[in-house]
Chains A and B, each alone.
Chain A
Amino acid sequence: MSSATSVIEPIVFRWHQAEITAIAPVTPHVKSVRLRCALAQTYRAGQHVDVRLTAEDGYQAQRSYSIASAQDGSGTFELMIEALPDGEVSGWFSQCAEVGDRVEMRGPIGGSFSWDGPDGGPLLLGGGGSGVVPLLAMLRRRAQHWRAIPAALIYSARTHAEMIALAELEQLAATDPQVSLHLAATREPGGKRIDAALVAGALTRIGAPGKVFLCGSNRFVAAASDLIMAAGVAPGLIRTERFGA
């Protein structure tokens, strides 16, 4: 037992109060929700939090949401919450939540799907739908402190109108020569899904990636993983998060 042991402080996730400080629509189905919470002091881009809501009679529901913001010292962070059909928790956020409301949170969770500058690059990011949210946090982190690290984002969504933070991403790609944006709108006329050409275009811009993060539906992540491995990227560089079926 002496080999390969290291002292690791146990991570304990306790519930914290969080107060909503701002809500704004970002797409027809997604709202940006900014919350003030002690957890906002220390997290890594790509991590998520568990959110818990409690009814009058004590009934509780929990869901996980990726953090969209990079740490900014404000004591707040931003979630992007997509209103799902019959969504128990997302429905509350989309229809009921107001500034000043309080919820409970714990985390940040997800050490393997997270990035900071010392982890290096180049960064190849692939997001499907709201799976772009943790990748947005990584790009924001990079923009704060690590602009020398090349980054490419492949972003697939049904339509341009449903792309989260599209204006910010386009502005970033237009002004930062080390960032490239590769969009696939799957449900628009002439639209397409992620394919080998899109992956090749991203790899041409950044060179061989040092880190790959993919997040989205299972179908998107499976397709993106296969294409990226087919392009010669080692499987061990790829980290994935999936939601839905």
Chain B
Amino acid sequence: MVTRGFVGRRQPSETGARLPPGQYLTDDFPILQIGPNPIVDRATWRFTIREGSRPIKAWSWDEFEALPRTTWHGDIHCVTKWSKFDTTWEGVSFDDLLADAGIAAPTGFLLAESYDDYTTNVPVADLVGGRALVATRYAGEPIHPDHGGPARLFVPHLYFWKSAKWLKGLRFTQTDTAGFWELRGYHMYGDPWREQRYIGD
């Protein structure tokens, strides 16, 4: 449906090609979350992988920092329609986490769980093969608490609500189990290039 008089601000074609549908480019780094930053102390920080309620492996901050590091450079896309180009993140790849735990993924899905009780679901297939990190550094610095530090999930090919801030663990689930926003109408998968913002997209 055409909106009378609306022309729009076209992006240069190079920018446009990098922007998923419905997104606009920002140089800011907007902050979106359901409540205040939880207070997360590296001294007591624990990161735990579970299958259902059963813990498989847990790391302290120092143990986690000793794991192999992976750097990722590229663009991120938020469901609230901003995209940010050329960001650099560093952390531990999901593959390296599983390797250190000495397991293969026991199920095809998991829920990322955060210190503020936020959750979000991601298929395991979207985390393996170098596609996801548990990130601890952004632009070469420790991640600021506003952006999810000390550690956040990082799955850049999905909308950024999947990249849960203040991550405390990953819980493998037998089925694809909706998290916080997915229970409130957000898409179960969230591919920006298919504009899967909400259920039914």
Across-interface contacts of B1 in A (CB, < 8 A) = 17, 54, 102, 104
Question: Is B198 interfacial (CB 8 A cutoff)?
Answer: yes
Q: Do A111 and B185 have beta carbons less than 8 Å apart? A: yes
Which of B9, B35, B173, B174 sits near A235, CB closer than 8 Å? B35
Which of A1, A61, A242 sits near B24, CB closer than 8 Å? A61
A53-B8, A59-B10 known; A218+B146 contact, CB < 8 A: yes
Question: Is A11 interfacial (CB 8 A cutoff)?
Answer: yes
Give chain A's interface residue range (CB within 8 Å of chain B).
35 or more
Majority DSSP secondary structure for residues of A touching B: mixed
Q: Shortest Cβ distance from A89 into chain B, in angstroms? A: 9
- Interface 1/0 per residue, A86-124 and B, CB below 8 Å: 101000100011000111101001111100000000000
- Interface 1/0 per residue, A233-245 and B, CB below 8 Å: 0011011111111
Across-interface contacts of A97 in B (CB, < 8 A) = 5
Question: Is B38 interfacial (CB 8 A cutoff)?
Answer: yes
- Interface 1/0 per residue, B164-201 and A, CB below 8 Å: 00000000011101001001110000000000011110
Q: Report how far A104 CA is from B180 CA in the complex, Å.
A: 27
Across-interface contacts of A187 in B (CB, < 8 A) = none
Q: Do B3 and A11 have beta carbons less than 8 Å apart? A: no
Q: Which of B124-142 contact A (CB under 8 A)?
A: none
Q: Do B5 and A11 have beta carbons less than 8 Å apart? A: no
Across-interface contacts of B24 in A (CB, < 8 A) = 61, 88
Q: What number of A-B contacts does a CB cutoff of 8 Å give?
A: 117
Question: Is A204 interfacial (CB 8 A cutoff)?
Answer: no
Question: Is B88 interfacial (CB 8 A cutoff)?
Answer: no
Q: Report how far A244 CA is from B197 CA in the complex, Å.
A: 20
Across-interface contacts of B146 in A (CB, < 8 A) = 218, 222
Q: Do A13 and B34 have beta carbons less than 8 Å apart? A: no
Q: Report how far A229 CA is from B38 CA in the complex, Å.
A: 11
Q: Do B81 and A62 have beta carbons less than 8 Å apart? A: yes
Q: Shortest Cβ distance from B77 into chain A, in angstroms? A: 13
Q: Shortest Cβ distance from A51 into chain B, in angstroms? A: 10
Q: Do B184 and A218 have beta carbons less than 8 Å apart? A: no
Q: Shortest Cβ distance from B181 into chain A, in angstroms? A: 9
Which of B10, B29, B36 sits near A229, CB closer than 8 Å? B36
Q: Do A1 and B174 have beta carbons less than 8 Å apart? A: yes
Across-interface contacts of B28 in A (CB, < 8 A) = 244-245
* Nearest opposing residue in chain B for A86, CB measure: B9
Q: Do A109 and B185 have beta carbons less than 8 Å apart? A: yes
Across-interface contacts of A226 in B (CB, < 8 A) = 36
Across-interface contacts of B197 in A (CB, < 8 A) = 13, 50
CB pairs A–B below 8 angstroms (13 shown) = A50-B197, A54-B3, A56-B2, A96-B4, A96-B6, A102-B1, A109-B198, A112-B180, A222-B37, A235-B36, A241-B32, A243-B30, A245-B26
Task: Give me the 7 closest cross-chain CB pairs, A-B, nearest first.
Answer: A245-B28, A11-B185, A225-B36, A96-B5, A111-B184, A12-B200, A53-B3
